[in-house]
Amino acid sequence: MLRALLLLPERGNDDWGSGDFGASRGGREHQGVDYAAVPGTPIASPTTGTVTKIGYCYTDDLHYRYVQITDDDERMHRLLYVDPAPGMQRGDIVYAGSIVGYAQNIAARYDAKTKHMKNHVHYEIRVPDGDSYVCVDPREC
């Protein structure tokens, strides 16, 4: 499996915390891994599968999008802060390495005078678990 996304450097730490899987976010844990990406960086699908969702990251700002690709094992690969590739639609088949979108400027949402965020793409894998799902570390899949 080609994991082009994983070739990007991890975001590491910034003023908002760690981009590592399982990092604390107050009362919860970070459910994915953040990969540093300047806005406009082409983002390749980490897996072959079907585009099952092109969603919105925030209800109060519809600019920020995510792309979800479901693989043959029903695992949902979510790439957040990604502008979907033009013309891509739910139901499309994509291949590992296919460009599915472009990194967005997520830092613009969180940057403040005293706190800065590194631009990144958030990658999480949701594995079905009964009526719900669990997130697993994408680096271990």
Residues that bind Zn ion (CB under 5 A): 34, 122
In the complex, least distance from residue 25 CB atom to Zn ion, rounded to whole angstroms: 9
Q: Of 118 and 122, which CB lies nearer to Zn ion in the complex structure?
A: 122
Q: Any idea which residue has 């979907």 for tokens?
A: 84
- Which residue number has the CB closest to Zn ion? 122
Backbone φ, ψ for residue 17 (5° rounding)? 120, -165
**48 token code pair:** 């072959």
Q: Of 18 and 48, which CB lies nearer to Zn ion in the complex structure?
A: 18
State how beta strands 28-29 and 99-103 pair: unpaired
In the complex, least distance from residue 87 CB atom to Zn ion, rounded to whole angstroms: 27
Q: For residue 24, what are the contacts with CB-CB under 8 A and spacing of at least 6?
A: 17, 18, 30
Q: Any idea which residue has 């802060």 for tokens?
A: 81
In the complex, least distance from residue 137 CB atom to Zn ion, rounded to whole angstroms: 12
The single-letter DSSP state of residue 114 is: S
Q: Of 20 and 71, which CB lies nearer to Zn ion in the complex structure?
A: 20
In the complex, least distance from residue 72 CB atom to Zn ion, rounded to whole angstroms: 25
Q: Of 34 and 71, which CB lies nearer to Zn ion in the complex structure?
A: 34
